Amino acid sequence: MGGDHAPEMVLRGAEIALVRFPQLRFQLFGQEGALQPLLDTMPTVKAASTIHHAPDVITGDTKPSAALRTGKRSSMRLAIDAVADGSADCVVSAGNTGALMALAKIVLKTMPGIDRPAIATFLPTQRGESVLLDLGANVECDAENLVQFALMGDAFARAVLGVTKPLIGLLNVGSEDLKGVDSVREAAARLKDTPGICFHGFVEGDDIAAGTVDVVVTDGFSGNIALKTAEGTAKLYSHFLRAAFTNSVMAKIGYFFAKGALDRVKERLDPRRYNGAMLLGLNGIVVKSHGGSDAVGFANAVGVAADLIINGFLERIREELALVRPPVEGPAGTPADPVTT
């Protein structure tokens, strides 16, 4: 029920996702009265789906605290509950990000070794695609959070991008060791000594699109600003191109011949192609679609979730965390601290 064009956009997205992943089965959480008539018009989705009636809806304005208190019968909560009880492999939502994060944290809990979940996405670069995290779940981070983000980003890049040894960079305002804020410098010092992590060092804003590293790690404030600045700049470029191509007869002729090439560029930068941000660090797969997404974008978010399941993302990240921070056996009666040991 989440997102600007739900529930139809979600069902159409499911329809598109089934073409690439015919093995998918959907549990649709939402208002049965709204879902059933739509589903009756989409035979492939209908055959792959079961409806689970949820009387309540968490809107875009619902505060996370209110979602926790009063959202027990909401479509979002019931969908997350299904992941928690094992009846679903993942949840994909285009709803309120803050509420989704809050509910997912309470219901699924963070993995051992992870203090705070992060939101990650992948982005186009000059060398292919890279992962960027955190995108806004944690606006203030200490060095330990950043190190944990690096570990989660590493596992995410392996599972979604298929990179065997992802190169990890820490976003900073310069590449010299002395640059930046304390938390970033301390995180860099620790990542240099983290086994299994291929740490490149500091990267700057322009390294994101250059593809200098496979995973760009940063706090949620800077990550959100970087992601949205990149989106805004791509839109500006398209805006200038449109203006230029309608400006003269020569340019219009050029557009006629170049339309195919221009469409390919547009497609490579299409934000819908990169729709599907992952809430990392939870005991379950939670993928967030952009709220303003259309069906094509939503299908890509479903595709990200499918990739994560097929590639055993949760097992990978658990193995990686265990390798880096093996659980310590404390003396009898002394519980070991999985985070700081």
- Interacting residues toward a copy of itself by CB under 8 A: 124-126, 136, 139-140, 171, 173-174, 180-181, 204-210, 218, 220-222, 224-237, 239-241, 244-245, 247-248, 250-251, 253-262, 264-265, 268-269
| Minimum distance from residue 47 beta carbon to a copy of itself (Å) | 39
Determine the Cα–Cα distance for residues 293 and 301; give it in Å rounded to an integer.
10
Determine the Cα–Cα distance for residues 226 and 262; give it in Å rounded to an integer.
25
| Minimum distance from residue 185 beta carbon to a copy of itself (Å) | 11
Q: Is 282 helix (H, G, I), strand (E, B) or coil?
A: strand
| Minimum distance from residue 213 beta carbon to a copy of itself (Å) | 13
Task: Produce one character per residue of 184-206: b if its CB has 16 or more CB atoms within 10 Å, e if not.
Answer: bbebbebbeebeebebbbbbebe
Q: Give whichever of 69 and 268 is closer to a copy of itself, judged by the CB atom.
A: 268
Q: Give whichever of 205 and 338 is closer to a copy of itself, judged by the CB atom.
A: 205
Number of H helices, E strands in the chain: 13, 10
| Minimum distance from residue 260 beta carbon to a copy of itself (Å) | 6
Q: Give whichever of 14 and 119 is closer to a copy of itself, judged by the CB atom.
A: 119
Q: Measure the CA angle with vertex 116, ends 115 and 121; round to 5°.
A: 140
Determine the Cα–Cα distance for residues 115 and 92; give it in Å rounded to an integer.
23
Say if residue 134 is preceded by a cis peptide, omega within 30 of 0: yes
Q: Name the DSSP letter for residue 194.
A: -
Q: Give whichever of 88 and 277 is closer to a copy of itself, judged by the CB atom.
A: 277
| Minimum distance from residue 232 beta carbon to a copy of itself (Å) | 3
| Minimum distance from residue 129 beta carbon to a copy of itself (Å) | 12
Q: Give whichever of 198 and 234 is closer to a copy of itself, judged by the CB atom.
A: 234
Say if residue 338 is preceded by a cis peptide, omega within 30 of 0: no
Element (H, E) at 198: strand 198-203
Q: Give whichever of 160 and 208 is closer to a copy of itself, judged by the CB atom.
A: 208
